[in-house]
């Protein structure tokens, strides 16, 4: 008995759908990220700027490298002294933490408010407690006074009484531009970083000649 092979039938391809085509889904365009505004040039300040201008310029830079560049461009011993006072744990302030009286004193040694009060008043266009405006050149600057900061830290000048030292500090603040006075109040409490985004690493990269520790 012979058997015949049956060849399997090839299956035909399914008929194409000839119905109406659905519109292709359009891909949603990604929302563009807002551009970070360009920071001011790292050398955009005038000669011998206020120290608050240098710190503010470093603060708004978009990278650590640019912050370091600002600090190098405006290198001055007064900046190094401020950073050591602020960042070096061996430098101990001889003042209580917090706000400092600021303004002209009367016979009872009471003052016309705190430094923050007066900066806010001046920024709003009110009269300064010391008769100095935010944009004007004042009696003195941190650049002129930084060599006297040793009076205000442990191991500096032990012959001063507490009252005398505090009065000297208040007198110094009253002679400074209010923003520079604010820097000293921050630095005495090691709080400079609460206002200016400048780190210890930034300072160490900019000023590699600073010796840290063992200062008290």
The confidence score (pLDDT) of residue 143 equals 94
Residue 93 falls inside a structural domain: yes
The confidence score (pLDDT) of residue 107 equals 40
Residue 145 falls inside a structural domain: yes
Total domains, the chain: 1
- Per-residue pLDDT tens for 38-77? 778 877 888 889 999 999 999 999 999 999 999 999 999 9
Residue 25 falls inside a structural domain: no
The confidence score (pLDDT) of residue 66 equals 96
Structure token digits, residue 26: 């359009």
Of residues 66 and 29, more confidence is placed in 66
Q: Is the pLDDT of residue 181 over 60?
A: yes
Helix locations, 14-146, DSSP H: 51-59, 64-73, 77-87, 115-123, 142-145
Residue 7 falls inside a structural domain: no
Please give the Cα distance from 43 to 49 (Å, whole number): 11
Question: What is the rounded end-to-end Cα distance, in angstroms, of the chain?
Answer: 116
Q: Which of 103, 176, 178 is nearest to 146 (CA)?
A: 176
Q: Which of 81, 68, 76, 69 is nearest to 48 (CA)?
A: 76
Q: Which residue, chain included where needed, has tokens 């004007």?
A: 136
- Per-residue pLDDT tens for 121-180? 665 655 545 555 545 445 889 999 999 999 999 999 999 999 999 999 998 988 888 889
CATH of the domain at 164: 1.10.3260
Q: Is the pLDDT of residue 35 over 90?
A: no
Cα distances (Å, whole numbers) of residue 91 to 189, 190, 211, 212:
11, 10, 12, 10
Residue 100 falls inside a structural domain: yes
Residue 15 falls inside a structural domain: no
- Per-residue pLDDT tens for 187-202? 999 999 999 999 999 9
Q: What is the CA radius of gyration of the chain?
A: 33
Residue 73 falls inside a structural domain: yes
The confidence score (pLDDT) of residue 134 equals 47
Residue 2 falls inside a structural domain: no
Q: Which domain holds residue 179?
A: 51-206
The confidence score (pLDDT) of residue 100 equals 81
> What's phi and psi for 153, nearest 5 deg?
-125, 160
Q: CB under 8 Å, gap of 24 or more: what pairs does 192-199 form?
A: 192/55, 192/82, 192/83, 192/86, 193/86, 195/59, 196/55, 196/56, 196/58, 196/59, 197/59, 197/67, 198/55, 198/58, 198/59, 198/67, 198/71, 199/64
Please give the Cα distance from 75 to 102 (Å, whole number): 29
- Per-residue pLDDT tens for 77-119? 999 999 999 999 999 999 999 888 766 554 444 556 676 776 6
């Amino acid at each position: 008995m012979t058997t015949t092979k049956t060849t399997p039938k090839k299956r035909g391809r399914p008929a194409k759908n000839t119905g109406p085509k659905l519109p292709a889904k359009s891909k949603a365009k990604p929302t563009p990220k807002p551009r970070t505004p360009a920071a001011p040039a790292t050398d955009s300040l005038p000669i011998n700027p206020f120290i608050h201008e240098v710190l503010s310029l470093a603060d708004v830079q978009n990278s650590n490298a640019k912050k370091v560049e600002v600090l190098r461009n405006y290198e001055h011993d007064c900046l190094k002294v401020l950073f050591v006072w602020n960042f070096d744990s061996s430098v101990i302030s001889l003042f209580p933490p917090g706000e400092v009286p600021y303004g002209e004193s009367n016979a009872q040694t009471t003052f016309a408010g705190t430094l923050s009060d007066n900066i806010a008043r001046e920024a709003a266009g009110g009269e300064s407690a010391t008769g100095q405006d935010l944009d004007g050149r004042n009696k003195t600057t941190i650049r002129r006074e930084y060599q006297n900061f040793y009076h205000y830290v442990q191991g500096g000048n032990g012959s001063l009484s507490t009252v005398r030292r505090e009065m000297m500090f208040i007198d110094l603040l009253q002679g400074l531009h209010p923003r520079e006075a604010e820097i000293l109040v921050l630095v005495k409490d090691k709080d400079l970083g609460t206002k200016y985004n400048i780190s210890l690493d930034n300072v160490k990269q900019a000023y590699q000649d600073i010796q840290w520790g063992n200062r008290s």
